[in-house]
Amino acid sequence: MTKSYIKDLPQRVGQPVQIEGWVTHFRSSGKIHFIVVRDGTGTVQCVVSGDFFADWDHLTIETALAITGEVRADARSPMGVEISVSTIGIIGPSIDYPISPKDHGTDFLMGHRHLWIRSPRQSAILRIRAGVIRAIRGFLDHNGFIVADPPILTPAAAEGTTTLFGIDYFGDPAYLSQSGQLYMEALAMALGRVYSFGPTFRAEKSKTRRHLTEFWMVEPEMAFVEFTENLEWQERLVEYTVQQVLTNNLSDLQGIGRDLELLRKVKAPFPRITYDEALERLKSKQLEIPWGEDLGAPHETALAEEFDRPVFVTHFPTKLKSFYMQPDPSRPELVLAADLLAPEGYGEIVGGSQRIHDLALLEQRLNQHHLPPEVYSWYLDLRRYGSVPHSGFGMGLERLVAWIAGLDHVRETTAFARTLNRVWP
Closest approach of Mg ion to the CB of residue 339, in Å: 6
Q: Which does 318 bind (CB under 5 to 8 A by kind): ligand 4AD, Mg ion, none?
A: none
Please measure the distance between the N-terminal and C-terminal CA atoms of the chain and give it in whole angstroms: 39
Provide CB contacts within 8 A for 297, sequence distance 6+. Answer: 208, 210, 345, 347
Closer CB to ligand 4AD, 131 or 396, in the complex: 396
Closer CB to ligand 4AD, 240 or 403, in the complex: 403
Please identify which residue in 38, 211, 258, 390 interacts with ligand 4AD, judged by CB under 6 A: 211
Number of residues in contact with ligand 4AD under rule CB under 6 A:
23
Instruction: Phi first, then psi: give them for residue 45, nearest 5 degrees.
Output: -90, 130
**Rounded Cα gap, residues 240 and 246, in angstroms:** 10
**Rounded Cα gap, residues 96 and 221, in angstroms:** 51
> Judged by CB under 6 A, does residue 70 bind ligand 4AD?
no
Closest approach of Mg ion to the CB of residue 313, in Å: 10
Closer CB to ligand 4AD, 36 or 335, in the complex: 335
Closer CB to ligand 4AD, 202 or 383, in the complex: 202
Closest approach of Mg ion to the CB of residue 350, in Å: 8
Going residue by residue from 386 to 405, which x/- string records binding to ligand 4AD, judged by CB under 6 A?
Answer: ------xxx-x-xx------
Smallest CA-to-CA distance from 85 within 42, 34, 40 is with 34
Please identify which residue in 179, 230, 413, 414 interacts with ligand 4AD, judged by CB under 6 A: 179
Closer CB to ligand 4AD, 116 or 403, in the complex: 403
Smallest CA-to-CA distance from 379 within 365, 362, 404, 354 is with 362
- The answer to whether 209 and 409 have CB atoms below 8 angstroms apart is yes
Closer CB to Mg ion, 17 or 218, in the complex: 218
Burial of 151 (0-12, 13-18, 19+ CB in 10 A): exposed
Closer CB to ligand 4AD, 348 or 412, in the complex: 348
Closer CB to Mg ion, 160 or 406, in the complex: 160
Please identify which residue in 246, 335, 349, 417 interacts with ligand 4AD, judged by CB under 6 A: 349
Q: Which does 392 bind (CB under 5 to 8 A by kind): Mg ion, ligand 4AD, none?
A: ligand 4AD
> Judged by CB under 6 A, does residue 413 bind ligand 4AD?
no
Closer CB to ligand 4AD, 22 or 403, in the complex: 403
**Rounded Cα gap, residues 36 and 56, in angstroms:** 13
Instruction: Phi first, then psi: give them for residue 319, nearest 5 degrees.
Output: -70, -15
Closest approach of ligand 4AD to the CB of residue 31, in Å: 54
> Judged by CB under 6 A, does residue 351 bind ligand 4AD?
yes
Please identify which residue in 239, 328, 348, 412 interacts with ligand 4AD, judged by CB under 6 A: 348
Please identify which residue in 181, 230, 318, 414 interacts with ligand 4AD, judged by CB under 6 A: 181
Question: What residues between 139 and 168 interact with ligand 4AD by CB under 6 A?
Answer: 158-159
> Judged by CB under 6 A, does residue 242 bind ligand 4AD?
no
C-alpha dihedral, 150 to 184 to 292 to 363, nearest 10°: 100
Closest approach of ligand 4AD to the CB of residue 97, in Å: 31
**Rounded Cα gap, residues 328 and 358, in angstroms:** 14
For residue 382, which amino acid is it? Answer: L
Where does this chain bind Mg ion (CB under 5 A)? 351
Closest approach of ligand 4AD to the CB of residue 154, in Å: 12
Closest approach of Mg ion to the CB of residue 203, in Å: 16
Closer CB to ligand 4AD, 39 or 344, in the complex: 344
Closest approach of ligand 4AD to the CB of residue 276, in Å: 20
Chain contacts with ligand 4AD (rule: CB under 6 A): 158-159, 179, 181, 202, 204, 211-212, 215, 217, 219, 348-352, 392-394, 396, 398-399, 410
